[in-house]
Amino acid sequence: MKTEQARSSLIRAAMRAPYLERQEEHDLAVRWKEHRDQAALHQITTSHMRLVISMAGKFRYFGLPLSDLIQEGHIGLLEAAARFEPERDIRFSTYATWWIRASMQDFVLRNWSIVRGGTSSAQKSLFFNLRRLRARLAQGSETLSSASVYSEISAALGVSMSDVALMDSRLSAPDTSLNAPVMDDGNGSSDRMDFLVSSDPLPDQVVGATIDEERRTGWLNQALGVLNERELRIIRERRLRDDGATLESLGERLGISKERVRQIENRALEKLRDALVRQNPEFASA
């Protein structure tokens, strides 16, 4: 109730605010831009609040509170005042209209749905013009199929037909919570979430993979114990690092040829294999 009263009071105050003549508007804009005169800013914005309220009414069909739309439009009005250049031969209302509309459109896109819509200029145009274009096409004498309607809108707005179809489906149905119940099988209701198929591994697969990885790591660490210091260094540098060292670079650090590094590496791998087979005889046939 208080919100309604505050909104009504704001609208009445805006409608009572006097219009500004061109020269008066110019003088106020100069005072604000050059001297940061807060009184001048207040007079400019107050006299243009009816423009904000009028434009907010055009966005009401998105189901958002009118008071919130007016508040966002006022933010756009202040942004316009901050950027307005009074030396240009243009009325402030003409300049402010773009900023007010942009602020309201951004607010609608952020709050109309829990799913963020497209942010490109083409997607925004589709979001805000789809209903209007559909209504205009429906008024024609010729009955059009959905495909024909999508094709007309696609050509008019420069977006794909699939984008038009997707946006149409979003605008025609509200958001649905994944926790909303869909059925009751006698053992309690099921949520929509219960019917989503996950591509993640099952819990027992995750546990099994973790156990297997720990077991293999233990076997490898035990087998590495059969290598001497140089063999162990070569295996670690060549096989156990993501960015394995080259034979040439490793040979330079060890002071031996790359062919000698390769020979030591092959011998170390054979020793590792023999150690692993001794630990796990079933590896012999692998």
Is there a contact between 120 and 105 (Cβ–Cβ < 8 Å)?
Answer: no
CA gap 226, 129 in Å, rounded: 74
| Cα–Cα distance for residue pair 265/246, rounded to 1 Å | 12
pLDDT at 263: 92
Fold of 203-285: Arc Repressor Mutant, subunit A (1.10.10)
Helices (H), the chain: 2-16, 22-35, 38-47, 49-57, 66-83, 92-111, 121-138, 146-157, 161-172, 203-223, 229-239, 247-254, 258-279
Question: Nearest-CA neighbor of 82 among 94, 103, 69, 99?
Answer: 99
Map out the domains of the chain as residue ranges. 1-112, 117-174, 203-285
pLDDT in tens, the chain (286 residues): 556 666 677 777 777 888 889 999 999 999 999 999 999 999 999 999 999 999 998 888 788 888 899 999 999 999 999 999 999 888 999 999 999 998 998 888 888 765 555 556 666 777 776 667 766 766 654 555 677 777 777 777 777 777 777 776 666 655 566 666 766 555 656 676 677 777 788 888 888 888 888 888 888 888 888 889 888 888 888 888 888 888 898 888 889 998 998 999 999 889 888 888 888 777 666 5
Q: Which two tokens stand for residue 228?
A: 């001497």
128: which 2 tokens? 């805000």
User: Residue 23 has what pLDDT?
Assistant: 92
Distance between CA 38 and CA 31 in Å, rounded? Answer: 9
Fold entry, domain 1-112: Four Helix Bundle (Hemerythrin (Met), subunit A) (1.20.120)
pLDDT number for residue 4: 65
Note whether 126 and 157 are within 8 A (CB).
Answer: yes
Sign of the alpha-carbon dihedral angle for 273, 279, 284, 286: negative
Block residue for tokens 């007079």: 43
Model pTM? 0.51
